[in-house]
């Protein structure tokens, strides 16, 4: 047991991390899996222990609501996500959900009734690891995309997103349903920084000002499988060689001497993926990010032409699967978070987010902001991801102060 402030928060995070535990203190808890369902049941139990009620919307977003005194007042939302990367860490996402429940528990234990209801949300599929893209739950909730947009997206085993979502909702038939969308007076998400800044500057809290833009693409290179021993190179339509040509050309085009642009090819599926068969098809992903809208649009719009110009033997289909422009958080919410950090006597600074979050989409329909806590060496999307109980507790103190202000105690 951890004998520190917020020991319960730490212990709950450790309990959650056992659902999908992988070597090196990591977590592999893909969205809409049995492990995800178990994690949802765990947080529902914790929320009910402090008087909150659970409900779920058609996108699978899980709401844990502590009613306020004014049922007509728009609620204050907080939360994050329970799904992880395949080689994820114990804190990315889970921290924001558990921290939100800590706020509910603190209000409950203190017998405090806020005017506005407070709702902790676990958004569906923030990571986009199993089903691309990420943030499908918050994009559906905010109306950024229609909720059925991704129904036919398939995971690596060919399972449809729509079917996996339906199965999860069936498993939660006991939970009350709520309409998709709705009002929020404000949304604040607590999250680990997933970068090195706060640790390097020995600060406790990041007052997040906004999120850079992200564009994802799925590239399918179609050639023809052939015998590695008999097919002359001059006659081949080698999808892997052409994919390499395309990625090499993209690397050149996406070079940024200021190292601000983020260009990643993180996933590649080769078929038939046999050492003595020429690749007939390659599917690879592109993750492109930049804080400047015009740069992101220009670089992203150039992707198709760069790929087509690099191919020698094959054809390629390029589909944009995610289009999230840079988002600035609401100044009043950012100020509220900053005030809360100051009132807690914590070292803090304003900073942007390099990672995307559900707040990017929630913020398109409600005033939103985020709270960052440091993580060791800035490591994330890696089992070595780590923030201490004290660092996480500090962030939760700020979250509680900000939520109480926004929800208007008394």
CB proximity list for 253: less than 8 A, separation 6 or greater: 299, 302, 306
| Coil vs helix vs strand at 268 | strand
CA dihedral over 181, 187, 188, 193, signed as positive or negative: positive
Select from 141, 356, 361, 386 the one that contacts ligand HGY (CB under 6 A): 356
CB proximity list for 286: less than 8 A, separation 6 or greater: 215, 216, 217, 218, 219, 250, 263, 264, 265, 303
286 sits near ligand HGY (criterion: CB under 6 A): no
Enter the DSSP assignment of 75: P
Select from 355, 359, 402, 403 the one that contacts ligand HGY (CB under 6 A): 355
Q: Near Mn ion by CB under 5 A, which window of 90-98, 106-114, 220-228, 285-293?
A: 90-98
Q: Near Mn ion by CB under 5 A, which window of 88-96, 239-247, 292-300, 328-336?
A: 88-96
Nearer to Mn ion, 123 or 245 (CB): 123
Q: Which residue is nearest to ligand HGY (CB)?
A: 355
193 sits near ligand HGY (criterion: CB under 6 A): no
The nearest distance, CB 315 to ligand HGY, in angstroms, is: 29
Record the tokens describing residue 321, joined without a space.
């699967």
The nearest distance, CB 85 to Mn ion, in angstroms, is: 6
CA distances from 7 to 105, 163, 256 (A): 13, 38, 44
ω into 288 cis (within 30 of 0): no
217 sits near ligand HGY (criterion: CB under 6 A): no
Number of residues that make up the chain: 410
Nearer to Mn ion, 56 or 359 (CB): 359
Nearer to Mn ion, 93 or 100 (CB): 93
d(CA 100, CA 402): 11
Stretch 38-77: interaction string toward Mn ion, x if CB under 5 A: ----------------------------------------
278 sits near ligand HGY (criterion: CB under 6 A): no
The nearest distance, CB 81 to ligand HGY, in angstroms, is: 8
93 sits near Mn ion (criterion: CB under 5 A): yes
| Coil vs helix vs strand at 315 | strand
Residues 104-133 that bind ligand HGY (CB under 6 A): 126-127
Q: Give, to the nearest 10 degrees, the angle between helix 161-171 and helix 34-49.
A: 40
374 sits near ligand HGY (criterion: CB under 6 A): no
d(CA 143, CA 410): 33
Nearer to Mn ion, 117 or 124 (CB): 124
CA distances from 103 to 3, 396, 401, 403 (A): 19, 7, 9, 8
Select from 134, 137, 206, 367 the one that contacts ligand HGY (CB under 6 A): 134
Enter the DSSP assignment of 382: S
The nearest distance, CB 361 to ligand HGY, in angstroms, is: 12
Select from 36, 57, 92, 242 the one that contacts Mn ion (CB under 5 A): 92
Binding site for Mn ion (CB under 5 A): 92-93
Binding site for ligand HGY (CB under 6 A): 126-127, 134, 355-356
């Amino acid at each position: 047991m951890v004998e520190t402030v917020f020991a319960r928060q730490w212990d709950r995070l450790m309990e959650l991390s056992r659902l999908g535990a992988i070597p090196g203190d990591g977590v592999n808890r893909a969205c809409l899996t049995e492990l995800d369902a178990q994690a949802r049941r765990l947080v529902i139990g914790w929320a009910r222990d402090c008087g909150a009620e659970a409900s779920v919307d058609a996108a699978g977003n899980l709401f844990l609501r502590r009613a306020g005194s004014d049922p007509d007042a728009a609620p204050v939302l907080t939360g994050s996500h329970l799904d992880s990367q395949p080689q994820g860490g114990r804190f990315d996402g889970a921290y924001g959900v558990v921290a939100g429940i800590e706020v509910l528990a603190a209000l409950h234990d203190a017998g405090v009734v806020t005017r506005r209801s407070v709702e902790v949300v676990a958004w569906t599929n923030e990571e986009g690891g199993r089903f691309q893209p990420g943030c499908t739950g918050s994009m559906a909730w905010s109306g950024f995309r229609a909720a059925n947009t991704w129904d036919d997206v398939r995971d690596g085993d060919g399972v449809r997103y729509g079917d996996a979502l339906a199965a999860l909702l069936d498993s939660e038939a006991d939970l009350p349903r709520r309409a998709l969308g709705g009002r929020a007076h404000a949304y604040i998400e607590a999250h680990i920084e997933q970068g090195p800044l706060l640790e390097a500057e020995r600060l406790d809290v990041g007052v997040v000002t906004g999120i850079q833009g992200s564009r994802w693409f799925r590239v399918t290179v179609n050639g023809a499988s052939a015998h590695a021993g008999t097919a002359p190179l001059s006659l081949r339509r080698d999808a892997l060689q052409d994919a390499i040509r395309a990625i090499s050309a993209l690397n050149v085009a996406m070079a940024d001497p200021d190292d601000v642009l983020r260009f990643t090819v993180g996933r590649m599926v080769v078929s038939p993926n046999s050492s003595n068969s020429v690749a007939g098809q390659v599917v690879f992903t592109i993750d492109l990010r930049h804080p400047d809208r015009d740069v992101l649009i220009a670089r992203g719009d150039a992707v198709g032409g760069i790929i087509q110009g690099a191919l020698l033997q094959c054809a390629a289909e390029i589909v944009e699967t995610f289009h999230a422009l840079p988002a600035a958080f609401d100044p009043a919410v950012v100020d509220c978070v900053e005030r809360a950090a100051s009132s807690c006597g914590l070292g803090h600074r304003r900073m942007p987010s390099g990672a995307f979050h559900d707040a990017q989409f929630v913020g398109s329909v409600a005033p939103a902001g985020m709270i960052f806590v440091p993580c060791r060496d800035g490591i994330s999307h890696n089992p070595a991801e780590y923030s201490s109980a004290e660092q996480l507790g500090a962030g939760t103190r700020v979250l509680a102060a900000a939520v109480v202000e926004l929800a208007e105690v008394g």
